[in-house]
Amino acid sequence: MTTVTRDALMRTYPDPPVTFVRGEGSWLWDGEGRRYLDFVSGLAVTSLGHAHPAVADALAEQARTLLHVSNLYGTIVGPEVAAALDRLLGGGGQVFFCNSGAEANECAIKLARRWGGHGRHVVVSAYGSFHGRTLATLHATGQPAKHEAFQPLPEGFRHVAWDDVGALEAAIDPTVAAVLLEPVQGEGGVNPATPEYLAAVRRLCDERGVLLMLDEVQTGLGRTGAWFAHQRLGVRPDVVTMAKALGNGVPIGACWARREVAAAFAPGDHATTFGGQPLATAAARAVLAVMEAEDVPARAERAGARLRGALARVPGVSAVRGLGLLLAAEISSRPAREVVAAALQAGLLVNPVTDSAIRLAPSLLVTDDETDEAVRILTEVLS
Ligand SMILES: *Cc1c(COP(=O)(O)O)cnc(C)c1O
């Protein structure tokens, strides 16, 4: 029995149903040696699976070489990773490194304000979105119920209905600097934007001289079957934020912007103690090298199509949505929470993304046998 007292932790999460002590690939182990198939991946973080040897080796070697110096000084790894990310994004941009998704969005919001200038600072985002838990990113998050306890929130945020071009058109006045959207709303229920919506948003942003900023914190780095979801949805953003999968579990985030937009920041406008440090960027460098060698976008597309097809045939699943390996299964027979609890008992980790849908976000290196096993467990749970 693993007994840990959580008394000294703030209660920002409910009591956990299980305590994990080890992971490898798509599998996790609890203190009793019981094995679980992980289709949550730390919420789309461990895209290369747990304890990936290339990432572990890179971390160990970097920890013995140079772990951290201030951003007042130059280092080797960060600039290399920035160039690699810029290449994956099609080039012509620059990167700011930070430590989380919320921080990547904070950078984007501050950049939009600096770019827009005084009086042109409003960021428009969508209802149902999730952009983080800091005060500014919480306000950008289009879930008013989450705002109430923390009012007053920073000024300068406005929300519009998702997938409604007319609503966005009406919301963009001369005070607006940027539109911030997820190409697939992750926490909001795994709702992909249509290419038509994003194309119309791009056109509108161009007409009104407003930045299009895409939050790819959850969708970025191969998960949706492209390096970035916007690439398969056919739109070119001005700013892209990312985090979750970039370090395969090592905290790192990044905000990329087109060079002309990034130029709005002058030295002193934004900064971070840890962001871009050698340890975190060494993890990211190893992650990107494995991702490119394995062609994870193609793997996510293939494994996603297979999983999607199998899920659609499970009795009790009424619909499957998402892109690549960021999927949600709509369950008609039982509440999502019950399904998630029963799946855990049966050795599968999934999470409820709405009252009626579960999210599946396995490692992008997941095997056919592992997806078959996940579908077998869900079939058993739902029967
Ligand atoms: C997880 C997430 C965030 C917040 O990331 P943190 O690292 O928890 O701050 C922001 N945006 C999206 C789309 C996310 O999925």
Query: What is the DSSP code string of 272-283?
Result: -SSTT-HHHHHH
Write b or e for each residue in 194-213: b if 16 or more Cβ atoms lie within 10 A of its Cβ, otherwise e.
eeebbebbbebbeeeebbbb
Question: What is the per-residue pLDDT for 303?
Answer: 98
The answer to whether residue 244 is catalytic is: yes
Cβ pair 91, 298 in contact under 8 A: no
At residue 67, the pLDDT reads 97
Among 248, 299, 252, which residue's Cα sits nearest to residue 277? 252
User: Which residues in 6-150 belong to E strands, given as ranges?
Assistant: 20-24, 27-30, 35-38, 93-98, 122-126
Measured in angstroms, how far is the CA atom of residue 199 from the centroid of ligand 1? 24
Domains belonging to the chain, first-starting first, are 20-52+295-382 (3.90.1150.10), 55-294 (3.40.640.10)
Q: In percent, how much of the chain has pLDDT > 90?
A: 99
313 token code pair: 């045939």
Rounded Cα gap, residues 185 and 158, in angstroms = 17
150 catalytic per annotation: no
Q: Which two tokens stand for residue 375?
A: 């579908």
Catalytic residue among 130, 157, 163, 228: 130
Q: Give the integer Cα–Cα distance in Å for 130 and 200.
A: 21
Residue 157 is a catalytic residue:
no
pLDDT tens-digit map of 332-378 = 999 999 999 999 999 999 999 999 999 999 999 999 999 999 999 99
Residue pair 254/225 in contact (Cβ under 8 Å)? The answer is: no
Ligand 1 centre from 132 Cα, in Å?
5
**Strand, helix or coil at 317?**
strand
User: 376: exposed, middle or buried (C-beta count within 10 Å: 0-12, 13-18, 19+)?
Assistant: middle
pTM: 0.98
Taking the CA of residue 216 as reference, the ligand 1 atom at the shortest distance is 13
Residue 1's pLDDT band (boundaries 50, 70, 90)? low
Q: Is 243 in the pocket of ligand 1 (CB under 6 A)?
A: yes
The pLDDT tens digits for 177-231 are: 999 999 999 999 999 999 999 999 999 999 999 999 999 999 999 999 999 999 9
Q: Which residues contact 320 (CB under 8 A, 6 or more apart)?
A: 308, 311, 312, 327, 328, 329, 330
Identify which of 98, 244, 351 to mutate to test ligand 1's pocket (most ligand atoms within 8 A of the CB).
244
Q: How far apart are CA 183 and CA 192, in angstroms?
A: 6
For the cut 80, the answer to whether the pLDDT of residue 2 exceeds it is no
Residue 292 pLDDT level (bands cut at 50, 70, 90) = very high
Catalytic residue, candidates 110, 215, 228, 238: 215
pLDDT at 4: 81
Reported confidence tier of residue 125, pLDDT bands at 50, 70, 90: very high
Average pLDDT score over the chain = 97
CB of 326 within 8 A of CB of 224? yes
Mean pLDDT of 39-50: 98
Q: What are phi and psi of 19, to 5 degrees?
A: -120, 125
Q: Say how many Å lie between the CA of residue 217 and the centre of ligand 1.
A: 6
Q: Is 99 in the pocket of ligand 1 (CB under 6 A)?
A: no
Q: What share of the chain is helix, strand, coil (3-state, %, to 5)?
A: 40, 20, 40
At 12, the amino acid letter reads T
